[in-house]
Amino acid sequence: MSEHLLEVKDLSVSFATEDGTVRAVDDVSFGLERGKVLGIVGESGSGKSVTAMTLMGLTRGVNARFSGEILYKGTDLLKVSDNDLQSYRGQELGMIFQDPMTSLNPVYRIGEQIVEAIQAHEKVGKAEARARTIELLHQVGIPNPESRVDDFPHQFSGGMRQRAMIAMALSCNPAILIADEPTTALDVTIQAQIVELISRLKDEFQSSVIFITHDLGVIAEIADEILVMYAGRVVEQGTKRDIFYEPQMPYTWGLLGSIPRLDRPRADRLHTIKGMPPSLINPPEGCKFRPRCPHAFEKCAEEPALESRVEDPGHLDRCWLTVDYKRSHRDETISPGTEAA
């Protein structure tokens, strides 16, 4: 059993709003090892971003309630004071966000913002910080870093801005890089470049990565382990192989079915998951996916526990359907129009 760099145990996050209490994250547990990539996948509202931001303490506020543990190198980050958390952010955990245009301060130069990140944690002079910044920009693949370091964010293209953000997040060599939908706002071709960049940097900087996305296709290459979240809960968890070749949750099938594939016979139509995500204030009883699941049956009125129902003990899911049923029915969803054979 290799040592877990990050261990999240039964994490729950809820927010008080004028409509009621929102249970954004419900009993989520996972582990992250050194040098590995964990992919967290789900729709908007699944709780994936809240989970990520809670790791950094960015969801703390008067209306937020937390329970469970976030053990980073043995320390429970939930119990760390706001003051002390500052030293973790940027230095132990780095984060990049979805929209690089709004995530960078428009009135300061890119270089200034990265230097600021460095000087927040390390006692280095301005000149040295600047030199490091230029080197970082070079490492993330920005051409002419010596001159571009003095540009403003709006002078960069979308892909370059995201690269700059990655540079900023890695500037103090954090052990974990959290990427919250880093490619969602970018073109498809740029998406691939960014994913590849993260993969390369992970090795160069020896960081672990938590990669959050709603698109399974994006992390198909890079993820070692994948967490599928729905309505604030983990509904399936396993290695990349498990998820892509033996998915156990109808929801996962839906996600897989909505990826356009070039390596399979062309389907009649792309699958869509009908319906809408459930309310997080008044969640439905039983399996949360039941209202949208075409395979639901009467047992689904009882909430399934997250456990392994297949041979591999590391592959967990929350579905009552039998493994055989799943095997024979999942291709209807994943590649509709091709199962008639």
Partner 1 sequence: MGAFVLRRTVGMVLVLIAVSFITYLIFIKIPGGDPAARLAGRTATPANIESIRIKLGLNHSFIVQWFDMVKSLLSGTLISYYNGGTNVVGQIEQGLPATFSLCLGAGVIWLFFGILVGTISAAAAGRFSDRAITALALIGISLPVAWLGLVLLYLFADGGLTSAFAYGGYYPITQNPWEWATHLILPWITLAVLFIGFYGRVLRSNILDTINEDFVRTAKAKGLSPRRIMVKHVLRASLIPIVTLFGLDFAAVLGGGAIITETVYSLQGVGFYAYQSIQAQDLPALMGVTLYGAAFIVVFSVIVDVAYAYLDPRIRLA
Partner 2 sequence: MGAPPPATSISFGGGHRRPVATGNQEFTLDTAAKLAAQEGGGAQVQGRSPWALAGRRLRRNYVALASLGVFLLVVVSCLLAPVYASHVAHRGANDANLTGYIHENGKTIPVISNGGSRVLPDGTVIVIPAGQPIGPQWGAAGGQYVLGADQLGRDLAVRLLYGGENSLRVGLLSAAISTIVSVLLALLAGYFGGVVDWILSRVFDLIWAFPVVLLGIALGTALSINGFHHFGIHLAAGDLWIPTAVIAFVFIPYIARPLRGQVLALREKEFVEAAVAQGAGPLRIMLTELLPNIASTVLVLFSLIVANAILTEVGLSFLGAGVQPPNASWGTLIADGQSWLATDPWFSMLPGIFIAISVLSLNIFGDGLRDALDPRAKVRIER
Contact positions vs partner 1 (CB under 8 A): 56, 58, 62, 86-91, 94-95, 97, 99, 102-107, 116-117, 120-121, 152, 154-155, 165, 168-169, 172
Smallest distance from partner 2 to CB 49, Å: 5
Which of partner 1, partner 2, none does residue 130 bind to, with CB < 5 to 8 Å depending on kind? none
Which of partner 2, partner 1, none does residue 316 bind to, with CB < 5 to 8 Å depending on kind? none
Q: Which is nearer to partner 1, 83 or 189 (CB)?
A: 83
Which of partner 2, partner 1, none does residue 117 bind to, with CB < 5 to 8 Å depending on kind? partner 1
Q: What is each CA distance from 113 to 110, 133, 167, 169, 324, in whole angstroms? A: 5, 10, 11, 11, 54
Q: Which is nearer to partner 1, 29 or 91 (CB)?
A: 91
Q: Which is nearer to partner 1, 177 or 231 (CB)?
A: 177
Which of partner 1, partner 2, none does residue 17 bind to, with CB < 5 to 8 Å depending on kind? partner 2
C-alpha torsion angle, residues 131, 136, 139, 143 (rounded to 10): -70
CA 253/CA 128 separation, integer angstroms:
50
Smallest distance from partner 2 to CB 271, Å: 8
CA 108/CA 106 separation, integer angstroms:
6
Smallest distance from partner 1 to CB 25, Å: 18
Which of partner 1, partner 2, none does residue 5 bind to, with CB < 5 to 8 Å depending on kind? none
Contacts 24+ apart (CB under 8 A), 155-161: 156/110, 158/100, 158/101, 158/185, 158/186, 158/187, 158/190, 159/186, 159/187, 159/190, 159/193, 159/194, 161/100, 161/101, 161/104
Q: Applying CB under 8 A, which residues contact partner 2?
A: 15-20, 22, 24, 44-45, 47, 49-50, 53, 58-59, 63, 274-285, 290-298, 300-301
Helix (H) or strand (E) holding 32: strand 20-33
What are 230's two structure tokens?
């729905």
Which of partner 2, partner 1, none does residue 91 bind to, with CB < 5 to 8 Å depending on kind? partner 1
